[in-house]
Amino acid sequence: MIKFKPLASGSKGNCYHLTDGTTEILLECGIPIRKIREGLDFRLSSVAACLVSHEHQDHAKAAAEMMAAGIDVYASRGTIDALGLRGHRLHPIQALQGFEIDTWHILPIDILHDATEPLGFVLTSGDERLLFATDTAYIKYIVPGLTHICIECNYDEETLSENVTQGKIDPVLRQRIVENHMSLERVKNMLFANDLSNVEEIWLLHLSDGNADAERFRKEIFWLTGRKVYVA
């Protein structure tokens, strides 16, 4: 049974623990390794691997330390080169080329973000399937058979525009946010496009401190889908 646990989410750092009851994986390592150890109750050695979506520090800060601790790290060649990582614990991966980590089958997918070669991940174990996508403007793929959705919901368009009008956000920053992060409206469109009949839960990730309302976002996605919705 898939269990997803956020250790950290947002621009200050991202790290998520995922298990199917047999194999444990970390998604992102964008917080100090000390905090990762604490979040895992000091059971880091039970983790089989860490998947890194892209090179920005709030997602990849502890990548080298993870390898030094004996954890295999999987990332795109663009991410690896941007981080300057080297070592036998490092595994280059490519979009749409699946691979196995013990009981997990993992399919990387290309996403849209201002990074060298960013990836999202579709992770399958038995008859359960989880989509993980954060720091992306949108998701261009339809993913069949989803049971869990973990997706960025960084802002909503109205709040972002109001913050620009009030001078809280520079218009240039607004444009960068729109071009690189997923809005509430785009999350809804993505959910409309996919078959949700088997979805058990939805996690909203990487909410902006100033451009998002966590409880409103949770309620709107629940009203839309009727599924359990959590905010990381």
Domain of residue 227, CATH code: 3.60.15.10
User: For residue range 75-130, what is the model confidence (pLDDT) as tens digits?
Assistant: 999 999 999 999 999 999 999 999 999 999 999 999 999 999 999 999 999 999 99
Contact predicate 194/220, CB 8 Å: no
Per-residue pLDDT of the chain (232 residues; tens, 9 = 90+): 999 999 999 999 999 999 999 999 999 999 999 999 999 999 999 999 999 999 999 999 999 999 999 999 999 999 999 999 999 999 999 999 999 999 999 999 999 999 999 999 999 999 999 999 999 999 999 999 999 999 999 999 999 999 999 999 999 999 999 899 999 999 999 999 999 999 999 999 999 999 999 999 999 999 999 999 999 9
Structurally, the chain folds into a number of domains equal to 1
Long-range Cβ contact pairs of 120-123 (< 8 A, separation 24 or more) = 120/53, 121/27, 121/51, 121/53, 123/18, 123/25
pLDDT, position 84: 97
The residue segments making up the domain with residue 23 are 3-231
Beta strand residue intervals within the chain, DSSP E: 3-8, 15-19, 24-27, 47-51, 72-76, 90-93, 99-101, 104-110, 119-125, 128-133, 148-152, 201-205, 228-231
Give the separation between CA 119 and CA 140, rounded to whole angstroms: 12
pLDDT, position 143: 97
pLDDT, position 52: 98
